[in-house]
Amino acid sequence: MNKKIISLQNKDRIKDLLIPGGFAFRVFVLFLLITPFYYSQVKTNMQVFYNLADSVSQQLISALPVQNDKINLKLNLGSEYSVFNNRFIAHFYQQGRKIDSSGTEVNLTVDNAFVVYSDMFRDGWFGDYEVRRIVTLHGSYFISNKGVTDFTVTAADTIPFDEINNAESMSYQFTHAEVPAEPFFSGLFEPIAAISAAAAAIILFFTVRSH
């Protein structure tokens, strides 16, 4: 008997820890808890650029002579892209390459870096707007005795429209881009759908009352 009482007490404690309400209410609360976490995971445009810079560094390192771990690195980034300077240098050191004037001569140039937003769409009929984000880094590198190699690295993903301002950096203009306009038919459909839903609710209300 005592075991049954203890078991019932444990069940009551578990119920106290659960979110009160019906199943739909619990799902709604869970959605509210998950949504901020999802949006916090959106990478900034600069973070994406840093990842692309790492890819370029890795590509360059793969082309270097294996027998020499020293490189005489010269970065030509200009004032606009100087933010990548430390990123490139850090990646070379992480991969076991030392920056030394006696090493293999390497010149790395970034000519262009830009973001494009395209294909605005809704996540479902009444979902939030999302946009396709394309981030591109373009330039070239020179390795002594190997010549010049051009590179263009791109990353594409989808981000919520409301996160665009958070993704862009106020300090660097190349992280900004023109935002696409809302699709015409999407904007037209929403009020029509709302009116239709309201009309259906009114018809249903009077139909139920008549019975």
Res 27: pLDDT: 46
Is residue 176 pLDDT above 90, yes or no? Answer: yes
- Per-residue pLDDT reduced to its tens digit, 146-167: 999 999 999 999 999 999 999 9
Tell the burial category of 60 from Cβ atoms under 10 Å away from its Cβ (0-12, 13-18, 19+): buried
Contact (Cβ atoms closer than 8 angstroms) between residue 161 and residue 182:
no
Is residue 180 pLDDT above 50, yes or no? Answer: yes
DSSP state for residue 163 in the 8-state scheme: G
CA angle centred on 120, ends 198 and 188, rounded to 5°: 30
CATH architecture of 45-205: 2-Layer Sandwich (3.30)
Is residue 80 pLDDT above 50, yes or no? Answer: yes
Res 210: pLDDT: 56
- DSSP-derived 3-state class of residue 143: strand
The better pLDDT of the pair 78, 126 is held by: 78
Is residue 55 pLDDT above 90, yes or no? Answer: yes
Res 17: pLDDT: 47
Using pLDDT thresholds of 50, 70 and 90, give the confidence band for residue 31.
very low
Res 188: pLDDT: 45
Ordered by start, the domain boundaries in the chain are: 1-41, 45-205
- How far is 112 from 80, CA to CA, in rounded Å? 9
What is the radius of gyration, based on Cα positions, of the chain? Answer: 28
